[in-house]
Amino acid sequence: MIPSVRKPSPFTIRRFLAAQVDRPFSYPEVGCTQQEPSSRYSVDRNRVLLGRGRETFSAACAALRRWAMFRLGWVELHHQNPSIAAGGVVAILVRANALWWLNAARIVYVSELPEGGREFAFAYGTLHEHAEQGEERFAVSRDADDNVWYEILAASRPGHWFGWAGYPLVRRLQRRFAGDSLQAMVRAVEKDSGQRAAGRGQ
């Protein structure tokens, strides 16, 4: 969607989502974030330590499942179905420089948690109604030292003329999103951990 000075209405967003259901991905390397992405893309890796232990890991997985990493104020995530499942379509609404951008993506894969698993991850890929082309992976993991991490792996390149024209701005927004998303997950896990501690104290 071309940037607009007006925020899309809920009706416009619902119609936009419905129109994306059967649209193809806008890039050929679907699933590229399951390995090292091609050099054709700008690749960004960002991660943050969320804490330690099984409870922190459970809280992080729950936060990821409810899209807590998108609660940033200047970014909104819209979906037809809140559950994270392969094939689900989402719309990412971004506000920057007094403009609103509505972008479409589809969930490519989900790494489900087996019993006792130590990682939960999923990725979405861009559709043609997206300023960029590429894929973004969101993951929480628990390492051998019991540390819990949240990580974003993004492989992207401009997908439209306005993406190329505004590429420096797009890269700034990508860096801003990564930093804000890491902090959003920290807040979500801290809040959940605090509520659990309060519950045990009652």
pLDDT at 2: 67
In a domain, 122, yes or no: yes
- The CATH code of the domain that includes 125 is 3.30.530
Indicate the number of domains in the chain.
1
pLDDT at 127: 96
pLDDT at 161: 60
In a domain, 96, yes or no: no
> Could you tell me which residues come within 8 angstroms of residue 38 by beta carbon, excluding any fewer than 6 positions away?
29, 32, 155
In a domain, 49, yes or no: yes
In a domain, 10, yes or no: no
pTM score, two decimals? 0.90
In a domain, 9, yes or no: no
Q: Which domain covers residue 124, as residue numbers?
A: 26-73+108-201
DSSP states of 54-119 as a string?
A: HHHHHHHHHHHHTTGGG--SSEEEEES--S--TT-EEEEEEEETTEEEEEEEEEEEEE---TT-SE
Of the candidates 102, 98, 103, 141, which has an alpha carbon nearest to the alpha carbon of residue 119?
Answer: 141
In a domain, 97, yes or no: no
Residues in the chain: 202
User: Which tokens belong to 101?
Assistant: 């951008």
Other Cβ atoms within 10 Å of 74 Cβ, number? 12
pLDDT at 82: 82
In a domain, 89, yes or no: no
User: Which tokens belong to 31?
Assistant: 């699933």
Give, for all 202 residues of the chain, the pLDDT tens digit: 667 889 999 999 999 999 999 999 999 999 999 998 888 899 999 999 999 999 999 999 999 999 999 999 999 999 988 889 999 999 999 998 888 989 999 999 999 877 668 999 999 999 999 989 999 999 999 999 999 999 999 999 987 666 666 678 888 999 999 999 999 999 999 987 766 655 555 5
In a domain, 181, yes or no: yes
